[in-house]
Structure 1
Amino acid sequence: MPSNSLLHFITKVINIEDIKVANYDFITEDEIVVEIQNQSKFSQCPRCGKTTNKTHQNHWYMVRDIPMSDYQVILKVNRRQLKCTECHQVFSEELSFVKTRRTYTKRLAMKVIKEVLETNVESAARRNGMTVSEVETLLKELEADLLKEKPHQIKKLGIDEITQLKGGKNYAAVLVDLETRRPIALLEKRNKVVIAEYLSSLGSEVLNQIEEVSIDLWMPYKSLIQEMLPNAQVVADRFHVMKQINQELDERRKQEKRAAVKIKSRQEREEKLAGLTHSKYPLLKKKESLNDQEKAKIHSLQKVAPELGEMYRKKEAIRDIFESQITSDEALYKFLEWTETAYKFFPKSCRTISRWIDEILAYFDHRTTQGIVEGINQKIKLIKRRAYGLTNFNSFRRRILLNWHFCC
């Protein structure tokens, strides 16, 4: 029999509240069984609420715990059955460190889940002496606990989409609390019906609190918000406006290059191609981010393709509007002036700005953007790559939500 001092030491190492180590035994070279006793003699009856210490029956079973040094630890646990002296109900006592009908401790479950998020289910199960099905059960239980608690204080919401598989068209909707910088939901589809169903589940009290919703330039998002969030201002993301302008600018660059190739004069053709070659990224960059070489490229480009150079100046002019510390009323006049002079260069973008002008101007009230949402989407892509792809949507969603719960 081990000495009391050694048992006391192991109790300290095990470090479970109200638990005392009564004995231990090595069953293999790297596996130890530790017999523990619950120091709390009384337990509360779940039926009437009275406490009792009257033991009806002892139930011993093995519970896997986190490793101790290089040893795998198995706890020999007695979950007593007690009989209430008041209502005579027989019940099993609650143990704080292990769930009912589980063969592993809560803290081992947390350790395994963190390892799954860093690697995958199979390797986490192998390292901790568990089966794959046990690990998957852990993940499902914790996801259920997380989803049970609905967000109740959202003021700024961001909505975007991401593809579950690279290059696919199976868009999932990502809903983000912009103030806490955390995803609150990952929905299998981005259509109105699916998003509306989730928003409805939050309840009118939560929906009425939402003041702003940042979205890309997708009309179904806008109409859904207007229907379901009576107090929310839709904010069109400024970066998506600039993205469309950049796309038109780049398309014009490609047209200029295709036209230059067809020029019959060799000298003129080579001169124009020299100005256009390697001009894509300088054209799309912010003017203050250009290095000397890129500035020289813009300068030579403006000589061989004046209209393309003018489009670059117009692109920078609207970006300056977004960067300016002005009110929405002041911004309105600047946008009207810009669209009048830029329509022949950016017809598609000007029409988009006209359709979304109220939502674009809303940006100038609180400077809300999709930047946080886009950052989260990039991290989701990284998680997918690290997991070698997740073809099952439930596994995909589970990993994303748990990752933010534990790692962020």
Structure 2
Amino acid sequence: MNTNDLYLTNKIDIHCETETKSWECPICKEETSRIHQSTSRVLRDLNMGSREVYLHLTTRQFYCSNCHHYFHEELPFASPNEGHTYRQSDFMFLVAQQQSYARSAVILNMHPKTVERAILSKCEEMINVTENYAKVKRLGIDEQSHKKGKKDYICVLTDLDNGTIVDMLPDRKKETLVQHFQSLGKEFCAQITDISCDNWQTYINVAKECFPNANIILDRFHFTKQLNEGLSDYLTEVKSILKPLLNNSKDFSKLKKVVNVQYHKLSDEQFD
């Protein structure tokens, strides 16, 4: 990598180019030096002190005359589809361990979605996602908000048999979930025997569409919540009916307490 120009302001712009004159075709493994076209890229790199560093470089698309394949040269320090270097991505991951994506984005002066994608990608590298998916038989689907009060959800997929997180998706939209599960293949979808989720209709529809052999089970938290809400509504209705028959509100409180006690734990007096 040759450095051509260096500009210093409140940020540092480094203009550079690769030294390699030819590249190996990934298909036929033949060397080629025939350049089809060039593309300019700007990559965010680690800061130097308080100054942000940007690498300005030109990447080349080669043409292989042997197999007629077009391909881009690879950079050892950056992904072909990202606007930052690998070491900047590592730094983003360290920063985001201590605070939310939004707060990390302010510190890094980057877009929150860029930080989010980098963190999710790093997590996939750290855990063997493919291997983990192969072991899953009973899958939990839930969401978590990473912006308090904003309802900006990520989707969390869990192996219910060992209680570990298998994967995280950037949102909980139906199209995102369906596309993700279908990309894992029919064999994976067929191996799932149970899906645990809340009563949100999108999760239920996705489970029906993607997992033909799975039983859909409402998770315990949401099932208990719905049960308690139903019981509370019922007691409110009962109170309005029994109000003329009760001496005071304490009598109803005693009744409500009895209703909430498990059947086998009732005393003889409560049972009567």
Give the TM-score of the pair, scaled to structure 1. 0.40
**C-alpha distance in 1 between matches for 2:115 and 2:179:** 27
**C-alpha distance in 1 between matches for 2:239 and 2:75:** 73
Alignment counterpart, residue 158 of structure 2, candidates 177, 194, 209: 177
**C-alpha distance in 2 between matches for 1:256 and 1:45:** 78
Aligned residues: 246
Alignment of 1:263-278 (within 5 A): 269=247, 272-274=248-250
Could you tell me how far 1:205 is from its partner in structure 2? 0.9
**C-alpha distance in 2 between matches for 1:66 and 1:248:** 55
Could you tell me how far 1:106 is from its partner in structure 2? 4.5
Q: Which amino acid aligns with 1:180?
A: T
Q: Counterpart of 1:72?
A: 52
Q: Counterpart of 1:208?
A: 190
**C-alpha distance in 1 between matches for 2:90 and 2:139:** 30
Could you tell me how far 1:44 is from its partner in structure 2? 1.6
**C-alpha distance in 2 between matches for 1:102 and 1:216:** 35
Identity of aligned residues (%): 22
1:229 paired with 2:212, answer yes
Q: Counterpart of 1:49?
A: 29
Alignment of 1:89-108 (within 5 A): 93-99=73-79, 104-108=84-88
Task: Name the CA shift for 1:204/1:34 in 2 (closer, same or farther; >3 Å).
Answer: closer
Could you tell me how far 1:45 is from its partner in structure 2? 3.0
Q: Counterpart of 2:225?
A: 243
Q: Which amino acid aligns with 1:188?
A: K
1:188 paired with 2:168, answer no
Could you tell me how far 1:154 is from its partner in structure 2? 2.5
The superposition leaves residues 6-51 of structure 1 with CA deviations (integer Å, 9 ceiling, x where unpaired) of xxxxxxxxxxxxx6x76874522x4334566757776323463134
**C-alpha distance in 2 between matches for 1:209 and 1:136:** 33
**C-alpha distance in 1 between matches for 2:144 and 2:52:** 41
Could you tell me how far 1:158 is from its partner in structure 2? 2.3
Higher helix share: 1
Task: Name the CA shift for 1:316/1:309 in 2 (closer, same or farther; >3 Å).
Answer: farther
Higher normalized contact order (CA 8 Å, seq sep 6+, divided by chain length): 1
Q: Counterpart of 1:310?
A: 258
Task: Name the CA shift for 1:221/1:87 in 2 (closer, same or farther; >3 Å).
Answer: closer
Counterpart secondary structure, 1:48: coil
Task: Name the CA shift for 1:73/1:198 in 2 (closer, same or farther; >3 Å).
Answer: closer
The unaligned stretches of length 5 or more in structure 1 are: 1-18, 167-171, 277-300, 319-341, 343-408
Q: Larger Rg: 1 or 2? A: 1
Could you tell me how far 1:137 is from its partner in structure 2? 7.7
The superposition leaves residues 63-101 of structure 1 with CA deviations (integer Å, 9 ceiling, x where unpaired) of 442212222223354657879797899976321223559
Could you tell me how far 1:105 is from its partner in structure 2? 3.1
Give the TM-score of the pair, scaled to structure 2. 0.54
